[in-house]
């Protein structure tokens, strides 16, 4: 990364929310269990600290600063009932002496997992009259606009953060994370061929794309989608490459997509968002039983299923390392007891 870009990335306005650097550590048990000639490593962004951690803490450092600069006193965001982003936005609000409003798609409202933590944080919960699978960009926009207007009418100064924090400023969190990982990789003397990450709204992948380009890293970025193809676009989220380009523009950097080897796979979504698959259940069990790593059934379980399939197919070169970005989400595990029915025995 050119020194000027490095300085701008670090000077971009942000608040201190995430405990970084997070660990980069091997998964020797999983490597052995898969008989892999490649090393499996894990980047522990489940350890970012804020309200049980997760990748959104890095994004919210920039997004909360935007809200404060705009004079907001209330953070408003939207997501599924078990949204990690909603949980961490509510926590970021409390950490920064702001109010919080969580707009949730209709779903199981039992106080478990992330929803339990949302309520513990005192976030004001607004349930939409439709589920995530029934949503459209237009329908969501109308509902959000009505809630924001109601908040303004009562005297609040709300700042809306779109689903997943998938906006250019939020992507800068993973430009910084890419630099952090590159430094750790050099320190540990490992040669990374692939980086695997769960993809929902795409802001994390966009930030990594920007970082890999800016740092001229020779990593293949393998996104494993947890939404059906077209799901993010249908909700009004900008394409990953557009997010990366616009994030780069914030710091005066011209993003070159063609310099990065990247892809997004939709093979591990299963019946839909938040629906546990047998492959995800196997990945969760293997990670826990081999290395004591806890994954969730919505995001990281499906992403790890993708990594395991890559390793089993021999897609990682011998002697190279594949890094799994653990984006957090473990609270959602406690809202899905049906996972037990899919776990392998033994």
Residues identified as active-site: 83
HEC assignment per residue over 109-153: CCCCHHHHHHHHCCCEEEECCCCHHHCCHHHHHHHHHHHHHHHHH
> Which has the closest alpha carbon to 199: 208, 190, 211?
208
Confirm if 166 and 3 have CB atoms less than 8 A apart.
no
* Contacts of 157 by beta carbon, 8 Å cutoff, 6+ apart: 71, 72, 73, 74
Nearest to 101 by CA among 60, 133, 135, 73: 73
* CB-CB contact of 59 with 89 (8 Å): no
- For residues 119 and 276, what is the distance between their CA atoms, to the nearest angstrom? 25
CB 77 within 8 A of CB 102: yes
Q: Is the peptide bond before 277 cis (omega within 30 degrees of 0)?
A: no
CB 30 within 8 A of CB 291: yes
Would you put residue 278 in left (φ > 0), alpha (ψ -120 to 50) or beta?
alpha
Strand 192-199 versus strand 220-225 pairing type = parallel
3-state secondary structure 17-43: CCCCCCCEEECHHHHHHCCCCCEEEEE
Residue 159: closest CA among 82, 84, 93: 93
| Nearest alpha carbon to residue 175 among 217, 208, 223 | 208
**Nearest alpha carbon to residue 205 among 224, 183, 190:** 224
């Amino acid at each position: 990364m050119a020194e000027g870009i490095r300085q701008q990335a670090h000077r971009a306005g942000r608040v201190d929310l995430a405990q970084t650097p997070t660990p980069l550590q091997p998964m020797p048990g999983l490597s052995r269990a898969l008989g892999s000639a490649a090393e499996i490593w894990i980047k522990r962004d489940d350890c970012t600290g804020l309200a049980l951690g997760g990748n959104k803490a890095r994004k919210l450092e920039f997004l909360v600063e935007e809200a404060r600069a705009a004079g907001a006193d209330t953070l408003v965001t939207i997501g599924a009932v078990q949204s990690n982003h909603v949980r961490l936005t509510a926590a970021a609000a409390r950490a920064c002496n702001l109010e919080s409003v969580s707009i949730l798609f209709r779903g199981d409202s039992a106080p478990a997992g992330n929803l339990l933590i949302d309520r513990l944080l005192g976030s004001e919960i607004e349930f939409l009259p439709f589920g995530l699978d029934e949503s459209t960009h237009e329908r969501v926009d109308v509902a959000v606009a009505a809630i924001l207007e109601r908040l303004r009418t009562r005297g609040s100064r709300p700042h809306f953060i779109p689903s997943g924090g998938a906006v250019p400023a939020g992507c800068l969190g993973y430009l910084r994370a890419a630099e952090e990982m590159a430094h750790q990789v050099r320190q540990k003397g490992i040669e990374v061929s692939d980086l695997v990450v769960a993809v929902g709204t795409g802001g994390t992948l966009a930030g990594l794309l920007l970082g890999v380009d800016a740092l001229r890293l020779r990593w293949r970025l393998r996104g494993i989608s947890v939404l059906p193809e077209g799901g993010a676009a249908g909700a009004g989220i900008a394409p990953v490459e557009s997010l990366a380009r616009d994030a780069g523009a914030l710091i005066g950097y011209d993003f070159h997509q063609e310099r990065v080897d990247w892809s997004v796979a939709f093979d591990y979504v299963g019946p839909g968002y938040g629906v546990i698959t047998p492959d995800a259940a196997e990945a969760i069990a293997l990670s826990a039983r081999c290395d004591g790593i806890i994954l969730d059934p919505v995001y990281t379980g499906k992403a790890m299923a993708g990594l395991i399939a890559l390793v089993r197919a021999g897609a990682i070169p011998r002697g190279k390392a594949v890094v799994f970005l653990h984006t957090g989400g473990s609270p959602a595990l406690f809202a899905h007891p049906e996972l037990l029915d899919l776990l392998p025995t033994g």
